[in-house]
Amino acid sequence: MKKWVVKGAYGENINVVTQLLRNRGIGEDAREEFLSPLPLAEYLKKMPGDFKESLKKAREEILIAIKDNRAIVIHGDYDADGICATAILYKTLTQTLGHAKVAYFLPNRFDHGYGLSPESVKEIAKLTKERFGVAGGLVITVDCGITAGQEVIESAKGLGFRVIITDHHQKGESDPRTEVVLWNDGVVGAGVALVLALVLGLRDEQLLSLAGIATVTDLAPLKGFNRALVKRTLALLNTNPPLGIKSLLDVSGGTNGEIGMYDLGYIIGPRLNASGRLDSAYDSLRLLLEDDSVEVTKIAQKLNAVNLERQEMTQKMFDLADELYVQDETSRVGNEPSLANSKIIITASEKFHEGVIGLVAGKLAQKYYKPAIAIAINGDVGKASGRSIPGVNIVDLLKHFEERFTGLGGH
């Protein structure tokens, strides 16, 4: 259900554009920049001082690792933001800086869980040993890591790794103690990776478009740096799109004229996300890294098919979740507390697939205009994903019960 908030008119003599901007909280002082964003370089200058200081440290750490010919592993994430961030940094390190000892690792949500975990650290150690014949090196997280427990960081260090964390998700009470923590919640994970790539000398402008796609798919507010980035992304996609993105649009049926915001959010994003939801996200990453057009087309077709499967699964799960919610509402009688009549929806089932519970929660939140949590039950453990409504920070709410969770985070 959509909840319309009708704004009052500001006066009879105010034109439509001014009225629309004011309705969105854009006053006269911000109007010009909103309609005509500044160059990206100007927004980089305006970023917080502690972020820029960490950026300098991260650059130095990476250049030293390259100078010493150490292995570098990019630890990504399985959603579109993490996949795009991984591609940006991988291409920067291998193509711009010419470093040969670079690998990437994307956790599988079913085997490794989210973020930098004990399981993913073991996989990375195994990867560097098999690929480069060495133990240890430098791990750079993208779109994850800020909520990693200190014991995970220490386990990586114990295996010979230095660790740089780059992330944008909500912080815990304190940052992990490691070489560098590069954190900025004003941009997405791929945005942080892009800024790092730029200070490392990024020359491939097509990689900017990957950060722009991630900005839209991760629902970042389109102001300032984000707005300028997405504007530049749309220009790039309509003139010289990356091979993988062009192929993904082609197999999905193409666009109606110019590539626009709808294509980023509803065509490209879901297809990049689909593989990581149902299995492994590596196909989506390969799509962004592969140069062979025939191979890229095959990958794009596979991702399109997986997305269709994901759509069907999501609809079936939403129907079940909605049915469970309605049953709960109608089964409560008298003064017994009703979950359905509370201010939050919580629905759980062993039939839920953990890869799409976030989408189900989003559909519930949209239909009933309440924060919603969907939980996939597996034995005595449940994996949950939540979606909220404006004005309600669901992560902050859940922190009141943090002792009940084995892990908690989000943005």
pLDDT at position 77 is 96
In eight-state DSSP terms, residue 78 is S
* Cβ atoms within 10 Å of 242's Cβ, excluding its own: 21
- Paired tokens of 56: 């300098």
pLDDT tens readout for residues 294-308: 999 999 999 999 999
pLDDT of residue 255: 72
| Dist. CA 176–CA 48, nearest whole Å | 19
Q: Which of 270, 204, 280, 206 is nearest to 243 (CA)?
A: 206
Q: How far apart are the first and last CA of the chain?
A: 23
| pLDDT digits 0-9 by tens, 81-119 | 999 999 999 999 999 999 999 999 999 988 887 889 999
Q: What is the pLDDT of residue 203?
A: 86
Phi-psi region of 11 (alpha: psi -120 to 50; beta: other; left: phi over 0): left
Taking the C-alpha atoms of residue 288 and residue 87, their distance in angstroms, rounded to an integer, is 7
Q: Provide the residue type at 106 as one letter.
A: L
The two tokens of residue 253 are: 């049926």
Quick one: pLDDT band at residue 406, thresholds 50, 70, 90? confident
Q: Tell whether pTM > 0.85.
A: yes
Q: Which of 92-106, 239-253, 254-268 has the lowest mean pLDDT?
A: 254-268
Domains and CATH numbers, the chain: 1-36 (no CATH), 41-291 (3.90.1640.30), 306-404 (3.10.310.30)
Instruction: Give the CA distances from residue 365 to residues 3, 329, 358, 374, in Å, rounded to whole numbers and listed in that order.
Output: 11, 16, 10, 10
pLDDT of residue 334: 52
Phi, psi of 19 (to 5 degrees): -60, -45
Q: What is the pLDDT of residue 4?
A: 75
- Of the pLDDT bands very low, low, confident and very high (cuts 50, 70, 90), residue 2 is low
3-state secondary structure string across 159-219:
CCEEEEEEECCCCCCCCCCCCEEEECCCCCHHHHHHHHHHHCCCCCCHHHHHHHHHHHHCC
